[in-house]
A and B are shown apart, each in its own frame.
Chain A
Amino acid sequence: MSPVLVVLAVLVSLLLAPAAHAHVGSPNVFFEGMAGSWPVRVIIRPPGVIPGLAEITVRVKQGAPERIQVQPVQWKAGVKGAPPPDEAKPVPGEKGLWSAQLWMMTASSYSVRVRITGPAGEGLAIVPVVTVRTARLAMQRALGFVLGGLGLFLVVGALTIVGAAVRESVLAPGEEPDVRRRRRARLTVAVTGVFLVLLLLGGKSWWDGVDADYRQTIFQPFHVRTAVVPEGSARVLRLEIDDPRWGRERDWSPLMPDHGKLMHLFLVREPGLDAFAHLHPVPRDQSRNRFEAALPPLPAGRYRVYADVVHESGFTQTLTDAVEIAGPSSTAEASPGPPSDPDDSWRTAAQIPLEAVKSSLGDGLSMTWERGSEPLRANREVELRFVVRDGAGRPAPLEPYMGMPSHAVISRDDGKVFVHLHPVGSFSMAAQQAFAAQDPAARMPGTMAGMDHPPGSTISFPYEFPQPGRYRLWVQVKSGGAVKTGVFDAAVQ
């Protein structure tokens, strides 16, 4: 099969299977926070191919920095093994926006140091980035034709040169080749032609080999098996990581808790995304690969499973699966036991009009999406801003929910995009803290960013929708000791 067809087949299969590392279909890393006393938003767009170039933009929201340096630090090599930093350059026409390129040479867990220098002093932000191969670039038709045409010209040209060499080059100037010489030239050209064809076939087989090897290295998250099993009068969700890679200590560091949880698991019902759960399974029997959580009273149906985990190296991945949840078969099962984790939450919601900006949270609270009148566009930086109000329209006080003012989960209707966001961004706080602990120059404020003071009633998330389509957003806050989930639908162009 020609490489072009292989590429098309791979692309089609990649479209069908989510190409994921952390989150699904949303590889960019968003970081919103402080670098010293500089408020910044950093966006890192990892390349789909490793070794490759990542694009990094740093938006300084206040002040005029003089210099911004960026530096990728691989977790094993550390700061000592990192290259000298690169200088970011201001983007012409956009105040406060700087950009640079990062050379990511291995598929690994990196922390990117962003150092800002200026009148307000020096500040450092640390942004974790996971680099994995996610895709294989197709060759554009135009390029394929040009290369094919040039290749044909070179082959025919080579044969002509060989013919000319045999026929004429050994003759004295002015002599004409005789019949015997012409015949020998034709024979040599024929033999060379066969040789060139064999060479090209060998080259194609080589290319196919490289291609197959590359496609094997495209990252697939660990394979998991999920099931719902009855336990007494309640039901329990069981997840087992049965991927053969997980046993290899050398290659994979153990999982570490993020906000105190080893796993954040989300259930989203197909196809309407009308039931949602956010659970925190715990390991069973001190096992490394078997996790369990009490199942909330979700309606029956087929659910997509997304489980976010973080390794000690800072490497994050989203494990995906699908599970059937049957309806309760007896009244006993209709009243399930308490959740296995007090931070578990769930919500059902039917289809919501696309223009709706207000979501009722129960207990008189409502959440309003301050989205402005501009339509949402794919690949455009956007701030998703929400305000929680009480029945009287006053801003309602919020409590930290697992250390964050809020958690947002965004999924495209077909599941090809799934991301779990915080106001500080899309990265793993646990990974960032791990890197900051190793980094001699980082002086993080003692708590995770965002936990310094109680959250206000306005929350905003930095994001960029990676693809057009219909999306559902769940925005979770904690108020009055209970988790509230606002639900919104959006169309992205």
Chain B
Amino acid sequence: MESLAPTPTPQVAAAVRSRVARTAALPWTLTAMLLGSTSIIVGLLWDISWHMTIGRDTFWTPAHMAVYLGGVLAGVSGGWLALHTTFAGSPEERAAAVRFWGFRAPLGAWVAIWGAIAMLTSAPFDDWWHNAYGLDVKIISPPHMVLAAGMIAIQIGAMLLVLAPGNRAPAGEERLLGTAFLYVAGVVLLMLATVLMEDSYPNDQHGAHFYKASCLVYPVLLAAVARASRLRWAATKTALFYTALQLAMLWVLPLFPAQPKLAPINLPLDHMAAPLFPLLLVVPALAIDLIVQSAGRRSRWWLAPALAAVFLALFLPLQWNASKLLLSPAAQNAVFGGDRHWDYSRAPGDWMTQYWVKNREPLTPRAAGVAFLLAAASAQVGLGWGAWMARVRR
């Protein structure tokens, strides 16, 4: 496509780098993106809790509005960026943009706009789906996957929007943008954990499926941020953001009184249900950081298997034992939330504090081997993604 202005010279390009990095605060578009990103994950966890507790909702609940507000913030700020850069952008701004059908904007803006449109598309699709197949019984349905794709795209768009100026910033000035990048990565990690929630109860954590799923999903993100971030201890900080956000929702949601509004009620709840206690991803994340940092942020053939090995070697015993605590009476309180993550339709019983192993694949050495291979593949993809992200400058 023809560009709409002459391309800037290298001197101008250099000026762009310094100007953005020197701003003490984030530009409003980035702040809006981060707010949107936060609103989406808060709304998502709120909505899940709503469905577990109250059971029924219309379109216009606060939880849904939080999710769509996030989409609107991301779409509007991305859209503004695109229009501004294309029609009113300074030469520096236009230089730091990529082209899309004749328009210009930073890459992250396009991804965020795509995500917002995907979220909007999912709404009428989901409405029809409910009228055709019944109101929500499962989280995972095709319209919800379109919504999830949109929400994750917005998160990735936000990541790229802070990544590009952060990568252009001169050494010593990358802290704010770098931390913003790790924050959004933490939100993405929480979204991934939420998608896996139905398989991640403490009661699942003595079976193979939980470890295989976790090894497939988490290493890719942790390896990517470790590789891409200019800050040290990137994966650890990401995991800390994930832990803090999930703990905040776990501690705050049950403060609000609520009552189930659907029959049959087998568990009479009187406060909002909480999400699960966070997974102990901080420890494997620390190990991943150590290894990636010691490899000097360069590609090595042994890096992915090494990351997979430490992930599994640390995650497995940690969760194996942590789940014992979470199923014990010591965890049935507001801090650990062991008794707060059941929905109203579950009849209480011993099964709530037992491991669910009947008719499920046990954690055999062979299963652990499969989990290792999944983690290695995941880590390899993550390293590749991280290497690319380290080079994004627009």
Task: Name A residues whose Cβ lies closer than 8 Å to a Cβ of B.
Answer: 49-53, 72-74, 76-77, 81-84, 86, 103, 105-106, 133, 136-137, 139, 143, 146-147, 150-151, 153-154, 157-158, 160-161, 164-165, 167-176, 203, 206-207, 210-211, 214
Contact = CB atoms under 8 A, between A and B. Distances in A.
B28 to A, nearest CB: 21
Contact of B142 (A103, A136, A203): A203
9 contacts: A81-B265, A82-B264, A103-B261, A150-B117, A151-B121, A165-B98, A173-B96, A173-B168, A214-B133
Contact of B124 (A133, A147, A173, A203): A147
A393 to B, nearest CB: 53
A172 B393 contact: yes
A147 B125 contact: yes
Given A84-B259, A153-B117, A210-B141, A49 B134 contact: yes
Nearest to B113: A157
Contact of B99 (A164, A175, A206): A164
Contacts of A154: 114, 117-118, 121
Nearest to A80: B265
Contact of A171 (B121, B259, B394): B394
Interface string B306-349: 00000000000000000000000000000000000000000000
Contacts of A176: 7
B393 A82 contact: no
Contacts of B263: 72-74, 77, 81-83, 103, 105
A72 B141 CA distance: 27
Interface string B80-121: 000000000000100110111100000100110010011011
Most chain B beta carbons < 10 A, residue from A151, A169, A175, A207: A169
A172 B132 contact: no
B131 A49 contact: yes
A309 to B, nearest CB: 25
Given A103-B262, A137-B132, A169-B107, 16 more contacts: A52-B134, A76-B264, A81-B265, A82-B263, A105-B263, A136-B132, A137-B128, A143-B128, A157-B110, A164-B98, A165-B98, A168-B394, A172-B13, A172-B393, A174-B13, A211-B133
Given A164-B110, A168-B99, A49 B132 contact: yes
A164 B105 CA distance: 11
Given A81-B266, A137-B132, A203-B145, A173 B393 contact: yes
Contacts of A146: 124
Nearest to B137: A51
B175 interface: no
Contact of A105 (B8, B92, B262, B393): B262
A170 B168 contact: no
Given A106-B264, A143-B124, A170 B388 contact: yes
A157 B262 contact: no
B135 A51 contact: yes
B365 interface: no
A116 to B, nearest CB: 21
B27 interface: no
Most chain B beta carbons < 10 A, residue from A53, A139, A174, A176: A174
Contacts of A165: 98, 107, 392
Contacts of B232: none
A83 B261 CA distance: 5
A335 to B, nearest CB: 55
B298 interface: no
Given A170-B392, A171-B393, A150 B98 contact: no
B114 to A, nearest CB: 5
A175 B8 CA distance: 8
Interface in B43-60: 55-56
A172 B98 CA distance: 11
A343 B37 CA distance: 71
A169 B394 contact: yes
A77 B8 CA distance: 72
Contact of B10 (A143, A151, A174): A174
B22 interface: no
A224 B240 CA distance: 64
A168 B105 CA distance: 11
B17 interface: yes
A3 to B, nearest CB: 10
A146 B95 CA distance: 35
A77 B120 CA distance: 38
B265 A169 contact: no
A206 to B, nearest CB: 6
A174 B110 contact: no
A51 B261 CA distance: 14
Contacts of A153: 117
A157 B100 CA distance: 9
A208 to B, nearest CB: 10
B128 A139 contact: yes
Nearest to B265: A81
Interface string B115-154: 0011011001100100111111100011001000000000
Contacts of B118: 154
